[in-house]
Amino acid sequence: MTATNDRPETTIREAARDRILVLDGASGTEIQAMGVTEEVLRGDRFAAHPSSLAGNNDLLALSAPEFVHRLHRSYLDAGADIVSTNTFSSTTVAQREYGLDDPQLVAELNVAAARIAREEVALATERDGRRRWVAGAIGPTNVTLSLSPRVEDPGFRALNFRALAQAYAEQIDALIRGGVDVLLIETIFDTLNAKAAIWAARRVTRELGVHTPLMVSGTITDRSGRTLSGQTVGAFWQSIRHADPLSVGLNCALGGREMRPYVQELSGLADTLVCAYPNAGLPNELGGYDEGPDETAAIVGEFATAGFVNLVGGCCGTTPTHIAAIAEAVSGVAPRHRAERTARLQLSGLEAFTLTENVPFVNVGERTNVTGSAKFRRLITNHEFDEALDVARQQVENGAQVIDVNMDEG
């Protein structure tokens, strides 16, 4: 059993007290730059697969692992303290798009990718003695639990919570068996998806009898300052705070300039480490990224000097050269001081609600209750969900600050 003082959570926190830690950058653009074609992706293992595998870079862990070794090595040489496994889409849910949703294959992918990253981290540490860590990358998948993919049927979901949580559990179990230090739940556009991953992580770590910390990173999709499912930064943080993550952060969708106000807001709220890894600017008309390493590093470096961050890195469009520039920009800059934990009632829907002494009265709407409202119970029983939603809407329009939803008939 790992000694408490040698646990990844302990060693990362200790390192983060002294300096700003550096994550790696994008994987897809780097893999493309290596000249990886679909033929290379297939290798012998997937040569006869009947459907297209173009862009399914996670397969490289099994079909051409030397490219994944090169990817990690390039970021470690650039100064990364934490490298993430090449497993962003390594769930049965995400692999279903390619006809590769066999649980045994997905488990094999995750174990292999984790071991490759583990090996490269060990070699880097052997070279210079500096400790580094492996983060098991867990992407959001290509489904959303909060939104319907059918405009004409808002109640439809492509997948339910239990099924997505099971897919995440299979991935997490394999990543832990492969040797990751932390689990990185990233690019969260729908917090309910993240909650499924958090629930799965708790279940798996309990079953395995291990303590594997969580890093959680959300995605603000545009300048509205909200995730795709509609949450503000504050609401997102309060929704996942119960998971007691090692770090919370933002990544993807935005460049550093556009991300700055949201990183600043999160920095003032989170009582844990804060991480930011933006894209290399916004995409151009061809979907590429034009922001150079020096420009990205200057923006991320300002996050550091402003006292917003404990961990930094890069997302889409960033390269080892970007990460080297970022590492240099934050070198010697003091890490952010964590916000104090406050013992207050904190709730979140699309927006955050915090009960303070400045809120003398809270109006709670209680008509969305199958026990207390015969009308609401009838609407739910008859699957008249649009009309049931109107009950909640009317309460908000009449001044309710919080809605009490009860579906338990006792």
- Nearest-Å Rg of the Cα atoms of the chain is 22
Q: Residue 226 in 3-state DSSP?
A: strand
Whether 400 shows a pLDDT value over 80: the answer reads: yes
User: pLDDT by residue (tens digit) across 181-198?
Assistant: 999 999 999 999 999 999
Residue from 298, 304, 331 nearest 81 by CA: 331
User: pLDDT by residue (tens digit) across 30-61?
Assistant: 999 999 999 999 999 999 999 999 999 999 99
pTM, rounded to two decimals: 0.93
Q: Give the domains, in start order, of the chain with CATH numbers.
A: 4-330 (3.20.20.330), 361-403 (no CATH)
Tokens of 152: 């004409």
Backbone φ, ψ for residue 122 (5° rounding) = -65, -40
Check residue 293 and give its pLDDT.
99
The pairing of beta strand 352-354 with beta strand 346-348: antiparallel
Check residue 18 and give its pLDDT.
97
Report, as an integer, the average pLDDT of 76-90. 99
* 214-218, strands of its sheet edge to edge: 21-22, 311-312, 273-279, 247-255, 214-218, 182-188, 133-138, 82-84
The C-alpha angle 10, 15, 17, rounded to 5 degrees, equals 100
Which is more confidently placed, 222 or 242? 242
The Cα–Cα gap between 98 and 109 comes to 14
Q: Is the separation of the CB atoms in 9 and 246 below 8 Å?
A: yes
Backbone φ, ψ for residue 102 (5° rounding) = -70, 125
Tokens of 306: 């402003």
* Lowest-confidence pick of 210-214, 302-306, 372-376: 372-376
Mean per-residue pLDDT over the chain, rounded: 95
Check residue 4 and give its pLDDT.
59
The C-alpha angle 121, 134, 42, rounded to 5 degrees, equals 85
List the beta strands (DSSP E) in 287-335. 311-312
Residue 3's pLDDT band (boundaries 50, 70, 90)? low
Check residue 355 and give its pLDDT.
82
The pairing of beta strand 273-279 with beta strand 214-218: unpaired
Residue 152's pLDDT band (boundaries 50, 70, 90)? confident
Burial code (b: 16+ CB inside 10 Å, e: under 16) for 17-47 equals eeebbbbbbbbebbbeeeebeeeebbeeebe
Residue 220's pLDDT band (boundaries 50, 70, 90)? very high
Whether 361 shows a pLDDT value over 90: the answer reads: no
Check residue 229 and give its pLDDT.
94
User: pLDDT by residue (tens digit) across 6-20?
Assistant: 899 999 999 999 999
Q: Residue 55 in 3-state DSSP?
A: coil
Whether 102 shows a pLDDT value over 80: the answer reads: yes
Report, as an integer, the average pLDDT of 110-124. 99
Check residue 1 and give its pLDDT.
45
Query: Is the CA virtual torsion 64, 65, 66, 67 positive or negative?
Result: positive
Report, as an integer, the average pLDDT of 298-321. 99
